[in-house]
Amino acid sequence: MRTKITVVGAGNVGATTAQRLAERDYADVVVVDIVEGLPQGKVLDINQSGPVVGYEPNLIGSNGYEESAGSEIVVITSGFPRQPGMSRDDLLAKNKEIVGNVSKEVAERSPDAIVIVVTNPLDAMCHVAYDELGFPRQRVIGMAGVLDSARFRTFLAWELGVSGRDVTGFVLGGHGDSMVPVVSYSNVAGVPVDQLISDERLQEIVQRTRDGGAEVVKLLQKGSAFYAPSAAVVEMIDSIVLDQKRVLPCAALCEGEYGFDGLFVGVPVRLGAQGIEEIVEIDLSETERQALSDSAGTVRELVQALATL
């Protein structure tokens, strides 16, 4: 029995996520978007790649949620991109409405689903989805840490001239300027990176990681990243569908962990068939713990702003 996965939003992140899932060949995929013809056209294109790439085409595009019923996993990528002159509160209000409406549809049609939120501002949108869904915290997860960690690992690998697969490193906290690349737990094949790279250079890499999304946006001039974000989403889905129990940095609702209560924060979690099976608490240096607390404070400000909209 193949897993049923719905991707809401047929933009670049959503469509590329659907493509990567198709190539995994372990799931039937439904792509939902309000733009007439967009999900149908992209899904038709992906399906026609099947005989060449070597997977069975099992994707459906829809402008409604009927076909999504009974999904085991739902990925929410739909949202409004920030436009010139748009304030943070404007963006919050617009995407609060979008993610809220999507979450209502998901709760009605796929009440047992694990939901992965991708829409920005990520941490705040996790709260919107969680409140509307009414699901246990184990089944509402935000994708950000895997992406930010992939950027961090890439920059470390380039600096040292090694394979990124041999670099261990993760990023905690909110998905924004205050994110916390955890240097003390970063290593290359077990060798701590702070033994291989000077402190000054490490701080430059940490800052480039924080600016990772903005760097892509600046280069593209129009649009934002989607290859790496979709890869990050699918790494999370792999761990859930295949019950791999990977320890990955994800936005999770903390209830006392790391000293946070009732707040979605990027922390290491064990992901398995039931969703978040454990929030893994690691020992952080005093500086890192303070940085994580500051980052969580930024998230809390966004959540408080949501309440006024």
Both tokens assigned to 256 = 């006392």
User: 33 Cβ partners below 8 Å, 6+ apart?
Assistant: 8, 9, 10, 11, 14, 39, 61, 63, 78
* Interior/surface letters 278-307, b for 16+ CB within 10 angstroms, e for the rest: ebeeeebeeebeebbbebbeebbebbebbe
For residue 296, give the nearest of 214, 184, 179, 206 by alpha carbon.
179
Closest by Cα among 267, 296, 300, 295 to 281: 267
Q: 279-283 long-range CB contacts below 8 Å, 24 or more apart?
A: 279/252, 279/254, 280/247, 281/257, 282/182, 282/185
Residues present in the chain in total: 309
List Cβ<8 Å contacts ≥24 apart for 215-224.
Answer: 223/12, 224/12, 224/81
Phi/psi of residue 238, nearest 5 degrees? -55, -45
**C-alpha span between 183 and 204 (Å, rounded):** 12
Tell me which amino acid residue 271 is. L
Q: Which entry of 127, 139, 175, 300 is annotated as an active-site residue? A: 175
Structure tokens at 225: 């990243």
**β partners of residue 266:** 173, 251
Active site includes 175? yes
Please give the positions annotated as active site: 175
